[in-house]
């Protein structure tokens, strides 16, 4: 892994996915999204005088989700705008910083990765020279009236900083959206495609190439 200090990351987001920063500018980003949703996705049966209260309700719900994600080390929250039907978000993913051990050294990272890969539903995935542990978790519905959910997690050590790890966690609710062969889940395949574009950003000092 590179010894240069990592300053951030980037991913290629297909439309209509959008990013909500969780460390600064969160409320401004949420209000901009809600304004866009209200303008383009408000159901025709909702009277104009109810749009304002609906917007405030959605801002409050999204800010609650954002704060909960930030409290768990979240850096960015991503949602697809066209998955908002009647102001209900059906899928999202969060990029978070996690700290498995304050004492971890660089030579311990492979051991931790190997330990993670012993868990069911995991596999190694290499993206631009970085090895991630990918885990798929299927959560059955708690009762007959609830929908099943799935979670896909990618986790790896921050290059050059083994005491800090990055977790990208995708969650979706409802029956899978299958392809032409009737198998798989197109939502998860899309998230995997987004993660395949992950690239680290480095501080300019000492970048040299």
pLDDT given at position 140: 80
DSSP line for 12-69:
PPPTTEEEEESSSSHHHHHHHHHHHHHHHH--TTS-HHHHHHHHHHHHHHHHHHHHHH
Query: Do 196 and 146 lie in a common domain?
Result: yes
Domain-located, residue 208: no
Domain count of the chain?
2
Q: What is the pLDDT of residues 114-166, one digit of tens each?
A: 999 999 999 999 999 999 999 999 888 777 777 778 999 999 999 888 788 99
Query: Do 45 and 129 lie in a common domain?
Result: no
Domain end: 48, 64, 89, which one? 89
pTM above 0.75, yes or no: yes
The closest of 112, 119, 149 to 134, measured between CA atoms, is 119
- Kindly state the tokens that stand for 50: 């109810």
Position 2 confidence tier, pLDDT thresholds 50, 70, 90: very low
Range of 39's domain? 11-89
Q: What is the pLDDT of residues 13-70, one digit of tens each?
A: 988 889 999 999 999 999 999 998 888 777 788 888 888 998 999 899 999 999 999 9
Query: Do 147 and 183 lie in a common domain?
Result: yes
């Amino acid at each position: 892994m590179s010894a240069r200090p990592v300053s951030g990351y980037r991913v290629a987001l297909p439309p209509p996915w959008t990013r909500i920063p969780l460390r600064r500018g969160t409320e401004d980003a949420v209000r901009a999204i809600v304004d866009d949703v209200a303008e383009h996705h408000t159901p025709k049966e909702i009277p104009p005088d109810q749009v304002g209260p609906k917007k405030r309700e959605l801002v409050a719900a999204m800010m609650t989700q954002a704060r909960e994600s930030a409290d768990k080390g979240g850096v960015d929250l991503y949602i697809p705008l066209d998955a908002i039907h009647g102001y209900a978000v059906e899928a999202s993913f969060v990029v978070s910083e996690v700290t498995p051990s304050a004492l971890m050294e660089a030579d311990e990272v492979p051991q931790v990765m190997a330990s993670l890969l012993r868990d069911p539903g995991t596999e190694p995935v290499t993206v631009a020279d970085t090895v991630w542990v990918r885990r798929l978790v299927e959560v059955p519905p708690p009762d007959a009236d609830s929908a099943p959910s799935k979670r896909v997690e990618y986790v790896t050590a921050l290059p050059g900083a083994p005491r800090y790890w990055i977790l990208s966690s995708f969650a979706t609710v409802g029956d899978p959206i299958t392809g032409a062969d009737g198998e798989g889940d197109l939502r998860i395949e899309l998230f995997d495609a987004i993660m395949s574009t992950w690239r680290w950003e480095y501080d300019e000092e000492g970048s040299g190439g």
